[in-house]
Amino acid sequence: MKKARSVLSVFLAVVAVFGVVTAVTSCASKPKKVVVATDATWPPMEYVDENKNIVGFDIDLINEVAKAGNFQVEIKNTAWDGIFAGLAAGDYQVVASSVTITDERKQTMDFSEPYVNAGQVLVVRKDITGVTTLADMVGKNVGAQIGTTGAIEIGKVSGVNLKTYDEVGLAFQDLVNGNIDGVVADSPIAANFALQNATYKEALMIVGQPFTDEYLGFAVKKGDTATLKLLNDGLAKVKSSGKLDELVAKWLK
């Protein structure tokens, strides 16, 4: 009887250990879910299409990074004016929204490796002549989305009147309507509105050359090294595979 009980005890112990190992293995193999915030108002980088889906370059890229890095993403449409506060509060783990890597932002958040250079350009109406730089806009009203590097650059030029908008599309609409004289935006955004948008391309043009080097990256909460490693590992694979170049060709050229 004692022997039978001993055999039974060993059997139950083995079953228990097997159950623990199986549970641990299952948990380890399940991809981590990362919540990603984006301000989906910046075509072709991130925007809501006619089917109410959030699409764009950044959306494709973060999905490819997740696939390569073996984690899942949940995209959360978030207004730009509160997007970094939400990151700091832990409402989500990543901001993938055409975020320029700056020294000022590095003080309050961490960044992935950069993935594209999107310098600022000036867009004006085609009926405006003699303008190639922001310095030519002294005494005029120039728009940009609030809190962006475009707004910062306009503010650096004495005599140029900055008008800010919650969404960059509103700035371009005001430009077409003659309410302002120019818009400063990332070159991919400017190209989308001035060169590809059927409503605007006959009325607007990009003047001069990009006047900043602005490298975009994914932002994470300061000190979140685990999420940062996931992003950088996945991004490295996307770059080396040539997939990043494919996305640039699809969305930005």
- Residue 20 domain flag: no
Q: How far apart are CA 174 and CA 143, in angstroms?
A: 9
- Domain extent, residue 89, equals 32-117+215-251
pLDDT digits (tens, 9 = 90+) for 34-75: 999 999 998 889 999 999 999 999 999 999 999 999 999 999
- Residue 17 domain flag: no
Has this prediction a pTM greater than 0.75? no
Question: Does residue 125 sit in the same domain as residue 96?
Answer: no
pLDDT digits (tens, 9 = 90+) for 147-204: 998 999 999 999 999 999 999 999 999 999 999 999 999 888 898 888 878 889 899 9
Question: Does residue 54 sit in the same domain as residue 96?
Answer: yes
Question: Does residue 110 sit in the same domain as residue 221?
Answer: yes
Q: Contact 86/76 with Cβ under 8 angstroms?
A: no
Whether residue 210 is preceded by a cis peptide bond, meaning omega within 30 degrees of 0, is: no
- Residue 18 domain flag: no
3-state helix, strand, coil in the chain (%, to 5): 45, 25, 35
Question: Does residue 82 sit in the same domain as residue 93?
Answer: yes
Count of structural domains, the chain:
2
- Residue 4 domain flag: no
Whole-number pLDDT of residue 102? 92
Question: Does residue 39 sit in the same domain as residue 95?
Answer: yes
Question: Does residue 105 sit in the same domain as residue 127?
Answer: no
pLDDT digits (tens, 9 = 90+) for 101-118: 999 999 999 999 999 988
Q: What is residue 173's three-state secondary structure?
A: helix
Percent of the chain scoring above 70 in pLDDT = 88
Whichever domain contains 229, its CATH number is 3.40.190.10
Arithmetic mean of pLDDT, 119-141: 95
Question: Does residue 109 sit in the same domain as residue 220?
Answer: yes
Question: Does residue 161 sit in the same domain as residue 105?
Answer: no
Q: How far apart are CA 223 and CA 204, in angstroms?
A: 43
Question: Does residue 38 sit in the same domain as residue 112?
Answer: yes
Question: Does residue 106 sit in the same domain as residue 146?
Answer: no
